């Protein structure tokens, strides 16, 4: 079942398009991430869904009802802002109860709901503590509890984790995801962090210049991006200019032929194409190719190594381009700077994508 539908939604600020003819269906009970660089329109789109911005054109529907011009306070959506916007003069319990007070919920029902939510966010012992005395992660949980206190039909999160340090941020990603799954509440989250989107989302909506570049499951977008922009934004990737040979293969800048399986399908709309291979798919072998370069095996020299203990990230200089390979000390023991290596590109891991449009 589709709960939220956007049809040709557009938002102009003077002559500039912040959101440009967006069509999207958000299924019930899923967590969707709007992902993209700063200025791509993701927060504006979220604010249109929330009712905080009115689209210049297009239709926003929820549960079959047109809500395009419905005021925000009548939409029954919960929202957590980047700043969290908690009330500093109130306790934790008072903050959570605030939306229930606005709705004139009975005092007993308020108290029961607040108690249940404090248990849900694992802060029952902090009910009477001022929010100013909480840690960043605790404030985050209180903001989410307040947003879901009135049992909204949709939860909207606008970069809610951006102010947290890296370790806490990763812990909160898991916590929010588990909470969302437990409640079964349809959730839309804005982020510019692709790792966050990959960790949390059922589906990712990648945005570029106000438009949707690709929609899909995180792994599908990572493994099968539709364009150079998406490939570059989702994870690390080797994106190499190639020439199509017309027979299912491609050649690299140095002239080496690369086999792609299944046989290469050049994107129909592409004037130029790129070869994408993820660093973890590049196989590194120490030594040089005495028999000459064989298909999908490239000679190179290690020019940089980033060693983070459990994994290694090696930059390999080849003829006319560089490759990044992700490996481990166990797979490539003794790997050092300046060392000659062979980089193998498995044909099944090589993808052809449309080149990024020239600006």
The domain limits of the chain are 2-223, 236-354
Query: Which has the closest alpha carbon to 4: 63, 82, 80?
Result: 63
Per-residue pLDDT, 61: 95
Q: How confident is the model at residue 320 (pLDDT cuts 50, 70, 90)?
A: confident
Average pLDDT over residues 6-19: 93
Q: How confident is the model at residue 269 (pLDDT cuts 50, 70, 90)?
A: low
Strand pairing report for 312-318 and 31-35? unpaired
Q: How confident is the model at residue 359 (pLDDT cuts 50, 70, 90)?
A: very low
Percentage of residues in the chain with pLDDT exceeding 70? 94
Average pLDDT over residues 86-107: 90
Per-residue pLDDT, 247: 67
Per-residue pLDDT, 49: 96
Query: Which has the closest alpha carbon to 198: 278, 267, 260?
Result: 278
Annotation: CATH topology of 2-223: Rossmann fold (3.40.50)
DSSP conformation class of 323:
E
Q: 141 — phi, psi (to 5°)?
A: -65, -40
Alpha-carbon span 293 to 275, nearest angstrom: 19
Q: Is the confidence at residue 309, as pLDDT, over 90? A: no
pTM of the model: 0.87
Q: Is the confidence at residue 293, as pLDDT, over 70? A: no
DSSP conformation class of 130:
B
CA distance to 91, 273, 350, per residue, from 133 (Å): 9, 54, 52
Q: Is the confidence at residue 1, as pLDDT, over 60? A: no
Instruction: Report whether 75 contacts 62 (CB < 8 A).
Output: yes
Per-residue pLDDT, 129: 93
Question: What is the pLDDT of the chain when averaged over all its residues?
Answer: 88
Look at 103 and 1; give whichever has higher pLDDT: 103
Please provide the CATH number assigned to the domain covering 236-354: 2.40.50.100
11: CB partners within 8 A, 6+ apart:
17, 18, 19, 41, 44, 45, 48, 53, 55, 56, 210
């Amino acid at each position: 079942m589709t709960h939220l539908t956007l049809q040709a939604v557009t938002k102009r600020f003077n002559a500039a398009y912040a959101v440009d003819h967006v069509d999207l269906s958000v299924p019930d009970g899923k967590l969707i991430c709007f992902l993209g660089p700063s200025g791509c329109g993701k927060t504006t789109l979220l604010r249109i869904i929330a009712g905080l911005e009115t689209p210049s054109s297009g239709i926003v529907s929820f549960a079959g009802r047109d809500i395009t011009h419905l005021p925000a306070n009548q939409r029954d959506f919960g929202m957590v802002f980047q700043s969290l916007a908690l009330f500093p003069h109130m306790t934790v319990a008072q903050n959570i109860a605030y939306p229930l007070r606005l709705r004139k919920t009975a005092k007993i029902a308020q108290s029961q709901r607040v108690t249940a939510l404090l248990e849900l966010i694992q802060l029952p012992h902090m009910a009477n503590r001022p929010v100013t005395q909480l840690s960043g992660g605790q404030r985050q949980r209180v903001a989410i509890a307040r947003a879901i206190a009135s049992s909204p039909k949709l939860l909207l999160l606008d970069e809610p984790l951006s102010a947290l340090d890296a370790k806490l941020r990763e812990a909160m990603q898991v916590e929010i995801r588990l909470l969302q799954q437990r409640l079964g509440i349809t959730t839309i989250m804005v982020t510019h962090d692709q790792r966050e989107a990959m960790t949390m989302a059922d589906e990712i909506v990648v945005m570029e210049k106000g438009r949707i570049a690709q929609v899909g499951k995180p792994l599908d977008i990572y493994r099968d991006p539709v364009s150079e922009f998406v490939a570059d934004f989702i994870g690390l990737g080797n994106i190499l200019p190639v020439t199509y040979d017309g027979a299912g293969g491609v050649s690299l800048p140095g002239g080496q032929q690369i086999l792609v399986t299944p046989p290469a399908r050049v994107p129909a709309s592409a004037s130029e194409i790129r070869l994408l291979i993820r660093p973890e798919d590049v196989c590194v072998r120490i030594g040089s190719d005495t028999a000459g370069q064989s298909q999908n095996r490239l000679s190179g020299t290690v020019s940089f190594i980033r060693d983070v203990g459990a994994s290694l990230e090696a930059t390999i200089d080849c003829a006319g381009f560089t490759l990044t390979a992700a490996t481990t000390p166990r797979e490539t023991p003794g790997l050092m700077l300046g060392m000659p290596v062979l980089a193998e590109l498995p044909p099944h891991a090589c993808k052809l994508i449309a080149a990024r449009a020239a600006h």
